[in-house]
């Protein structure tokens, strides 16, 4: 149920998280990460660079190291920045942006295979648009080009009025600035917007601290809500429940 029932009548913009909200990971990641990292290294070596597993400082690959370093800091260090740093540390001092982007594109082309659109994502987005809501995406991401590709592959692009990734913005949820960017784009106050996402600390806490309505989707969540003074305004198990939740 919606905690602030009267507030829902003012909502005009609905923001969604991407991963494990509109799209989901179908299979275990380890085989994909292994293939993805091999694809990345192949491109780097073909470009004449010194690149091997040793440059990851004991981690299994670039994405493994990226998620380890990400920690609790909301400043976004993209895989592009990280890869360039690792290559320079490994003795490659003239690495072009073109090679970096080609290597990352090869890596993400593998991981993209494991992302699938939720079966109720497009029907839900369609219904929201039909009901007059504007729709945005605010998502944490290691690479903006990968994020844009995932949205295109999922078929959700036609329903979106705006989208931002932390990789493009430079700050990750729950940093207030990335939510404020969405509010500024639509020219609305926080009380006119709702945020839908699966990650409690990023989506629920982030939305609540700027004054947005928070909707926690738990379909892909495998743990209970953390102990927190923050409580979501609504909890849903499926996207398909959101249009009725926000209807006046």
pLDDT by residue (tens digit) across 38-86?
999 999 999 999 999 999 999 999 999 999 998 778 999 999 999 999 9
Assess whether 219 and 161 both reside in one domain.
Answer: yes
Count how many Cα atoms sit within 13 Å of the Cα of residue 40 in the half-sphere of its side chain.
28
Question: What is residue 71's predicted lDDT score, i.e. its pLDDT?
Answer: 73
- DSSP, collapsed to helix, strand or coil, labels residue 147 as helix
* Model confidence, pTM: 0.94
Assess whether 215 and 134 both reside in one domain.
Answer: yes
Question: What is residue 223's predicted lDDT score, i.e. its pLDDT?
Answer: 67
pLDDT at residue 1 is higher than 70:
no
pLDDT by residue (tens digit) across 113-126?
999 999 999 999 99
Best CA proximity match to 213, nearest among 232, 199, 241 = 232
Domain residues for the domain of 206 are 7-22+118-246
Assess whether 179 and 224 both reside in one domain.
Answer: yes
**How many helices (H) and strands (E) are present in the chain, helices listed first?**
10, 8
Using pLDDT thresholds of 50, 70 and 90, give the confidence band for residue 8: low
Assess whether 134 and 40 both reside in one domain.
Answer: no
Q: Hunting for tokens 């001092």 — which residue is that?
A: 93
Query: Does 1 fall in a domain?
Result: no
Using pLDDT thresholds of 50, 70 and 90, give the confidence band for residue 247: confident
For residue 230, the tally of other CB atoms under 10 A from its CB is 16
Assess whether 76 and 182 both reside in one domain.
Answer: no
We report the CATH number of the domain holding residue 242 as: 3.40.50.1000
Q: Give every strand in the sheet of 234-236, ordered side by side.
A: 162-165, 134-139, 13-16, 193-197, 213-217, 234-236
């Amino acid at each position: 149920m919606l905690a602030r029932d009267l507030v829902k009548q003012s909502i005009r913009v609905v923001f969604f998280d991407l991963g494990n909200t509109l799209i989901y990971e179908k299979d275990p990641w380890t085989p994909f990460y292994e293939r993805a990292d091999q694809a990345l290294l192949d491109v780097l070596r073909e470009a004449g660079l010194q690149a091997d597993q040793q440059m990851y400082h004991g981690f299994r690959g670039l994405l493994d190291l990226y998620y380890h370093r990400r920690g609790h800091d909301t400043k976004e260090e993209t895989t592009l920045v990280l890869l360039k740093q690792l290559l320079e540390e490994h003795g490659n001092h003239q690495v072009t942006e073109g090679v970096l982007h080609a290597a990352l594109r090869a890596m993400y082309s593998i991981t993209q295979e494991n992302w699938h659109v939720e079966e109720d994502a497009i029907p839900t987005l369609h219904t929201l648009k039909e009901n007059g809501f504007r729709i945005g995406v605010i998502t944490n991401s290691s690479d903006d080009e990968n994020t844009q590709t995932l949205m295109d592959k999922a078929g959700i692009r036609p329903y979106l009025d705006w989208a931002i990734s932390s990789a493009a913005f430079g700050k990750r949820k729950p940093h207030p600035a990335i939510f404020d960017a969405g509010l500024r784009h639509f020219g609305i106050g926080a009380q006119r917007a709702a945020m839908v996402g699966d990650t409690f600390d990023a989506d629920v806490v982030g939305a609540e601290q700027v004054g947005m309505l928070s909707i926690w989707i738990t379909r892909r969540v495998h743990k209970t809500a953390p102990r927190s003074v923050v409580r979501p305004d609504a909890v849903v198990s499926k996207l398909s429940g959101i249009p009725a939740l926000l209807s006046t």
